[in-house]
Structure formats: structure tokens, C-alpha cells
């Protein structure tokens, strides 16, 4: 299946999710993440502020701060993205594509070993991912390699095998939760 068809299929499935299904799956995925050594070793988390029917990340970011980890989230500037430290998780507003992002423009996050939570539309067990099509994460990661990468997704986002392009950066760990 090509990426365009996959994006349409997964997008349609996500639109069918209820708020309760999203919250239940998100809580289960947060527990999986917190129990994983990749999270426990991290001193900083570069997360994202979930949008539409994505796995909810706010509770993860809040817990990371309680666990003494620094938190950063992305902000888009034209065709590029930067991670910004975010001490106040309420200091956000709709930004590019109406996705929540920090209101401030600094400080730029600078932890070269931070754990990155990767959004995406589909994943496979080898860590290949199909993003939303903007290429922001792949571009950023090409300039900042070496970060541990984790994806959180619903079971229907998992595929047996995804075809990827040479510039697509795979994730190290994919955690998923089936929707009943």
C-alpha cells in the first residue's frame, strides 16, 4: 500500500475512535512507557503535544517532569522544526497546522541524548514508520542523530511491513495498545 492510501486508511480509523478509547489506550501506553528501560534511563524527554486522535501525551509529559526529567516539545518555523524546553506545559497555543506548540521561541533544547517520542501514522515491528507527510522529524533527526526513539500507537497503526524511503528514520521501540 502506498503512503497516500495508508494515510487515508489510518486517518479514517482514527476518526472512529471515541474519547474513552483514546484515553484508555493512552493511559495503558503511558504505563508501558514508564516501565520501559529506555524511559527510565532518559534524563530528558522530547515529546509532542498530541493533536486530534493521536495517543494523548500530556500525562506522559507531566509525569516526566515529576520524575525529574526535562521536557521539550517541537515548534515549527516554516519548513523546519526545533525542540524547545517547556517548563510550563500550559504555555502552548495552536501553531503550524493547528498543532499545539510552545508560545515562546526559546530556549532551544540541547540534550543530545534525550528520548524522543515520535508521532506517526503507521509503524511496523522493525521500527519503520510512516509519518504525516511533512518530513519534519526526519529532517531534524538527520541533523541530530543518535537519540533513542520511541513511538506510541494504537494496534491498528501497526503493519506487518512498511515501505520506507532512504531518508525515513526508524524508531528503536514501538509500543502499541489494541482498541477493543
Residue numbers belonging to the annotated binding site for substrate: 49, 54
List residues forming the annotated binding site for ATP. 3-7, 129-137
Are 83 and 138 in contact, with CB atoms under 8 Å apart?
no
List residues forming the annotated binding site. 3-7, 49, 54, 129-137
Counting Cα atoms < 13 Å in the Cβ hemisphere of 116 gives 26
- Kindly state the helix (H) or strand (E) to which residue 58 belongs, with its residue range: helix 58-66
CA distance 9 to 42: 34
Are 82 and 108 in contact, with CB atoms under 8 Å apart?
yes
Short-list 81, 157, 144, 91, CA closest to 115 = 144
Amino acid at each position: 500500500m502506498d503512503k497516500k492510501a495508508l494515510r487515508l486508511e489510518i486517518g479514517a480509523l482514527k476518526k472512529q475512535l471515541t474519547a474513552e478509547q483514546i484515553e484508555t489506550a493512552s493511559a495503558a501506553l503511558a504505563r508501558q512507557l514508564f516501565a520501559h528501560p529506555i524511559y527510565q534511563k532518559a534524563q530528558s524527554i522530547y515529546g509532542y503535544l498530541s493533536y486530534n486522535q493521536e495517543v494523548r501525551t500530556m500525562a506522559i509529559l507531566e509525569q516526566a517532569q515529576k520524575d525529574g526529567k526535562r521536557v521539550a516539545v517541537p515548534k515549527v518555523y516554516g519548513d523546519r522544526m526545533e525542540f524547545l524546553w517547556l517548563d510550563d506545559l500550559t504555555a502552548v497555543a495552536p501553531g503550524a497546522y493547528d498543532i499545539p506548540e510552545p508560545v515562546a521561541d526559546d530556549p532551544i533544547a540541547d540534550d543530545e541524548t534525550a528520548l524522543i517520542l515520535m508521532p506517526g501514522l503507521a509503524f511496523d515491528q522493525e521500527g519503520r514508520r510512516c509519518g504525516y507527510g511533512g518530513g519534519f522529524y526526519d529532517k531534524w533527526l538527520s541533523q541530530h542523530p543518535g537519540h533513542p526513539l520511541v513511538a506510541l500507537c494504537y494496534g491498528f497503526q501497526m503493519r506487518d511491513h512498511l515501505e520506507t524511503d532512504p531518508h525515513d528514520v526508524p524508531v528503536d521501540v514501538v509500543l502499541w495498545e489494541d482498541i477493543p
